[in-house]
Amino acid sequence: MAERRRILFFVEGEPQHGLSPASRLRAYQYAPLFIAAGIDCQYLSSHPPKYFHSVYWLRWLRHNARWIYRVIVLCGWIFMCVTRLWQMRRVRPQDIVVLQRDFLPNSWSFLEKHLARRTGHLVFDLDDAILEQNPQKIRMILGCAQRVIVSTPYLAEQVAPFNPNVAVIPTPVDIDSIQPAPQPREPAEPVIGWIGTSGNLVYLKSIEDVFRKLAAKSRFRLRIVSNRIYASEYPKLPPEIMETIEWRLVDETAQLQGFDIGIMPLDPGPWSLGKAGFKLLQYMAAGLPVVAAPVGFNCDLVRHGVNGFLASSAEEWERYLSQLLDDRDLRRRMGQQGRQLVEKEFSLRPTSAKLLRVIDSA
């Protein structure tokens, strides 16, 4: 058998931090399986992380000392360019190169062009509707790639006109790591949980009134797990229902097991249509029922009335959450259905085999 070529993953950040979850979920979590299969795969991370400008103190500078913020961000981008150019020296013509989204969160495209010149086996991976953000740059990268991997059918439709060699590979869940709680929860106050990066908290704020109305008639806790969140940012909500916890990789499974209901609100805009629904898969893997907006891939994941509910309005959000809060057996049954779905269609091991076949064909 011919020796397998080396696979180089150019990723957005290190897996331990919450600013680049796509790096952990669509690249690093495959590493143990690839290594066990004897595959030479290496990971080249952005330095600083691609979304370093999202840390709290830089966001504060953006609003209070904009010129300092701009200087720091520009210096960060320049340093990212230098480190990426240095990393590209390792690329050999026969290597398979997987590029996760684009290198920089701006319109600069010279890095991607340079990378394409160094390899004839470029695989472009994207799990968000980034064509909406920077269409000219992303179309150029799509045109340079031998294969494209996307997380949803909607994204496949978006990129197919610019590169027909596209495969849909949803972001998988490590079902050996994320499992239902070993003992059934019997809380006095059920927990409605949301987990995600701070950039997506805007969707949670869109249903603040729902939580306020629920709090007037039901006992529950709203627990938010994120890289940065303060209860004071939710002045409309009764403070007694709020819990905010900083996300840490080592605690992720325990935090999910501490939820009783998982939620994923979204707006109907084009960016949301490209969402891969990974937090729903995490909730389901932990044996939780879900309530989600009927937007994009959410509609493929949530079997309404079976493993959760799709809520189209504030009234439906309130009705379905109230129903789940009041019915422990319904939560258990729906959670079991969600777990079965993830085990059957979205678990890590079979997805890694599919990913490897796509990459190997580049």
pTM: 0.92
* Architecture (CATH level 2) of domain 7-172+347-360: 3-Layer(aba) Sandwich (3.40)
341: part of which helix (H) or strand (E)? helix 328-345
Q: Report residue 203's pLDDT band, with 50, 70 and 90 as the boundaries.
A: very high
Cα–Cα distance, 51 to 261 (Å, whole number): 29
186 has pLDDT over 70? yes
User: Using CA atoms in the order 159, 161, 163, 167, what is the torsion angle rounded to 10 degrees?
Assistant: 50
285 has pLDDT over 80? yes
pLDDT at 312: 96
Contact 291, 311 (CB under 8 A): yes
pLDDT at 198: 81
Contact 101, 150 (CB under 8 A): no
61 has pLDDT over 90? no
* Architecture (CATH level 2) of domain 191-345: 3-Layer(aba) Sandwich (3.40)
- For residue 48, cis peptide bond before it (omega within 30 degrees of 0): yes
pLDDT at 1: 40
Tell me whether the CATH fold assigned to 7-172+347-360 matches the one assigned to 191-345. yes
Contact 100, 84 (CB under 8 A): no
Condensed to tens digits (0 to 9), the pLDDT of residues 265-283 reads: 999 989 999 999 999 999 9
Map out the domains of the chain as residue ranges.
7-172+347-360, 191-345
Condensed to tens digits (0 to 9), the pLDDT of residues 84-125 reads: 999 999 999 999 999 999 999 899 999 999 999 999 999 999
Mean pLDDT value across residues 171-186 = 90
165 has pLDDT over 90? yes
Q: Across the chain, which distance is largest between two alpha carbons, in Å?
A: 67
Chain center to CA of 309: 21
9 has pLDDT over 70? yes
pLDDT at 4: 56
DSSP assignments along 149-190, one per residue: EESSHHHHHHHTTT-S-EEE-PPPB-TTTS---SS----SS-
Mean pLDDT value across residues 112-139 = 94
19 has pLDDT over 70? no
Q: Report residue 190's pLDDT band, with 50, 70 and 90 as the boundaries.
A: very high
242 has pLDDT over 80? yes
pLDDT at 55: 76
Residue bearing the bigger pLDDT, 59 or 116: 116
pLDDT at 17: 64
Q: For the chain, what percent of residues have pLDDT higher than 90? A: 75
Chain center to CA of 45: 17
Average pLDDT of the chain is 92
Condensed to tens digits (0 to 9), the pLDDT of residues 294-344 reads: 999 999 999 999 999 999 999 999 999 999 999 999 999 999 999 999 999
